[in-house]
Amino acid sequence: MPVALITGASAGLGKALAAALVSRKWTVIGDGRDAAALTAAAREAGFTPVPGDVADPAHRADLAAAAGPSLDLLVNNASTLGVSPLPPLGRYPLAELEDVYRVNVFAPLALTQLLLPALTKTGGTIVGVSSDAAVEAYEGWGGYGSAKAALDQLTAVLGTEHPDLAVYAVDPGDMRTAMHQLAFPGEDISDRPLPGASVPAFLRLLDERPASGRYRAADLLAPA
């Protein structure tokens, strides 16, 4: 039975992807900062919860221990938006920006470093969840977008350095999530698709295992 570790699995895309993999008979380990929300999500989706903050080295060690000696899939999904409402870079509080990079860039790399031996043993897959803000210059998105751009580059280099692994940065597109609502406080985001709509794109990557690189869910879901 293949094993996956998904960070940020208490809600949104992480929870939806965990549920999809469990339905495919995967063993899934998920983490999240809100222990109560993670436990409820794990009970509903059928995965193993390991509550904690991925930016905490002790928690990352717990995740590595839970994953065990071999791992088939790591999904670096946990992230933080940063300041809401989104401020321009000229007024972005640097302490808050450091936290965005700590969660969105440094933590995924640190967790990947811990899990590389287990992933190498299976010739596994690493997925970094990206955003269109990583490649487009949107007003107010400089903090989050630049962190996702950094994660994209780390993911790309890992793919080059580890050719036996499948390493993907995936932009799922806009989603109706709590974090997306934080980016647009007071606005109606009900027109955005639910996170589950992009899950088939991630499953296609796992099924077809194309070359390592950056992919958009919209392209993976488009008719041939």
- Establish whether 101 is a catalytic residue: no
User: How high is the pLDDT of residue 212?
Assistant: 98
Residue 87 pLDDT more than 90?
A: yes
How far is 163 from 167, CA to CA, in rounded Å? 9
Name the percent of the chain in helix, strand, coil, to the closest 5: 50, 15, 35
Q: Which of residues 191 and 52 earns the better pLDDT score?
A: 52
Nearest to 164 by CA among 117, 205, 207, 202: 117
Q: Tell me: the pLDDT tens digits for 131-183? A: 999 999 999 989 999 999 999 999 999 999 999 999 999 999 765 666 655 55
User: How high is the pLDDT of residue 186?
Assistant: 66
Q: Tell me: the pLDDT tens digits for 112-138? A: 999 999 999 999 999 999 999 999 999
Q: How confident is the model at residue 84 (pLDDT cuts 50, 70, 90)?
A: confident
From 92, 101, 144, 168, the catalytic residue: 144
Give the residue extent of every domain in the chain. 3-221
Nearest to 8 by CA among 81, 63, 75: 75
Nearest to 127 by CA among 23, 63, 205, 57: 205
Check whether domain 3-221 has CATH 3.30.1490.190, yes or no:
no
Distances in Å between the alpha carbon of 120 and those of 29, 69, 184, 214?
A: 18, 10, 40, 20
Q: In the numeric block, which tokens belong to residue 204?
A: 């296609």
How far is 149 from 128, CA to CA, in rounded Å? 11
